Amino acid sequence: MWNYWWAHSKDDEFDNGTAHTLGWYRATIPTSKLGTQSYNCFDDDGENDNDARLNSILGRDSELRTLYGHCGITNGSLATMYCCPPSQTAIVVLGNAAEAVDAPETISKILLQAVFDLKPRIDLLPLLREQRKRCLKAHDKVISVWEHGRDASKYTSSAQDFIGSYLGLDTCRISIIASDTAEAQIAVVFNDNNSSKCDLEPHNDNSLSFMVTEHDKLLAKSMGDWDHYKAGVFDFVRENGVVKGFWWKWHIDEYQSLWVKIGERVDQKDIEQTLETFGRSRTVEV
C-alpha cells in the first residue's frame, strides 16, 4: 500500500528508504526526509528547502529507527504525530496555529531527541525562527503582487450584479451575499458554511477580492497561506452586461476554474451553455 516515490533519500549520505500513503509517511532515521511534508521544510518559493533538512538530520550517530509520521502541509499546522511500533512509542503534538510556521513539527522533533536520546543533539529552535522569517517574507511577496494588480478606481459595478450562488468543479457552491460591513457591500460564503464568510472588496474593473493581507488575521480565520495572488480574487465574466460567473485560481498548481452563476435551482443545461461560451479552465501568468 506504500507509494515508493520517495524510495531513497538521495540528497543525504544515508540510504534509508522512505515511503508515503494517504498523508502518512514512513521513514527510517537518520534521514533528511523526516518531517519533509511539513511547511517548515519549504523555502520562499514553495519548494523543498534541502539546506534546512540536511542541517537538521536527527540521530546521525544513533541506531536505525523506523517511524511512521503525519504532519501538516500548511502554515500554522495544528498537529504532528510520530509512531515507533517496536518501542510502542507515540509522540503527538498539538498547536493552536496562532503563529507562522509549523511549531508542532519542531516540538515533536525535540521530543524525539529526548525520548530516544538521539545523538548528536540538534538545536532546532534557530531553524524554526529562520523559517518563520521566510514564511512571512513569502506572504509579503504574494501580497505585493496582489497589490500591484489592484486598481479599485476602475470598479463601477453594482453589488446587486454579483449576488447569487455559483457552482464550480461540478460540486462546490460559492455564494455571494449582501453585507453591511464590506467595502463592496457584499461578502462570499463557501459551500453554505456561514463561518467561512469573508467580506469582498473591489480589486479591479470586474473583479472582487477576499484576500486577507495581514498574516495574523489569516491564521485567526484558519485560512491556509496564500500561494498565489489570484487565490484571493474572483474575476467575473459577463454576457450582454449580465454576470454569468467568475474565474478563480483556488490553488497555485491548478488552472483557473469557472464558477457559473445559477438561479434558484441548478439548471445543468444553462451551466453547460455558460461553460461552452467561456470555457472550463484557463491559465494565468505567475
Are 36 and 69 a contacting pair, CB within 8 Å? no
Q: Which residue has the cell 528508504?
A: 17
pLDDT confidence of residue 138: 87
Contacts of 124 (CB under 8 A, 6+ apart): 56, 106, 109, 110
* pLDDT at residue 8, rounded to an integer: 47
- Residue indicated by cell numbers 486577507: 212
Q: Please tell me the predicted confidence (pLDDT) of residue 3.
A: 53
Rounded to whole angstroms, what are the CA distances from 256 to 12, 50, 145, 207, 227? 37, 30, 17, 14, 14
Q: Any idea what DSSP says for residue 205?
A: T
Q: Residue 100: enclosing H or E segment and its boundaries? A: none
77, 99 contact by CB (below 8 A): no
Q: Are 74 and 165 in contact (CB under 8 A)?
A: no
Domain with CATH 2.40.128.50 in the chain: 158-282
Which backbone phi and psi does 125 adopt, to 5 degrees? -65, -40
Does CATH number 3.40.50.1980 belong to domain 158-282?
Answer: no
Residue 21, pLDDT score: 79
Torsion sign across C-alpha atoms 286, 129, 219, 181? negative
Q: Kindly compute the dihedral angle of the four CA atoms of residues 108, 98, 147, 285, in this order, to the nearest 10 degrees.
A: 30
| Confidence at residue 43, expressed as pLDDT on a 0 to 100 scale | 62
Does residue 16 contact residue 1 with C-beta atoms inside 8 Å?
no
In angstroms, how far apart are the furthest CA atoms of the chain? 71
Closest residue by Cα to residue 18 from 4, 1, 30, 36: 4
| Helical packing angle, 125-148 and 103-116, nearest 10° | 170
Per-residue pLDDT tens over the stretch 55-108: 788 999 999 999 998 887 666 667 899 999 999 999 999 987 777 888 888 999
Task: Check: CB of residue 219 under 8 Å from CB of residue 99.
Answer: yes
CB distance 66 to 28 below 8 Å:
yes
CB of 37 within 8 A of CB of 49?
Answer: no
Q: Would you give per-residue pLDDT tens digits along the chain (286 residues)?
A: 555 545 544 567 777 778 877 778 888 999 888 877 777 776 655 555 566 667 788 999 999 999 998 887 666 667 899 999 999 999 999 987 777 888 888 999 999 999 999 999 999 998 889 888 888 888 899 999 999 999 999 999 999 999 999 999 877 899 999 999 888 899 999 988 888 899 999 999 999 999 999 988 888 777 777 888 899 999 999 999 999 999 999 888 888 899 999 976 667 788 888 888 888 777 765 4
> Which triple of cell numbers denotes residue 76?
500554522
Query: Which pLDDT does position 284 carry in this prediction?
Result: 64
Q: What is the pTM of this model?
A: 0.78
CB of 24 closer than 8 Å to CB of 69: yes
Cis amide leading into 30 (omega within 30): yes
Residues whose CB falls within 8 Å of the CB of residue 263, separated by 6 or more in sequence, listed in order: 164, 270
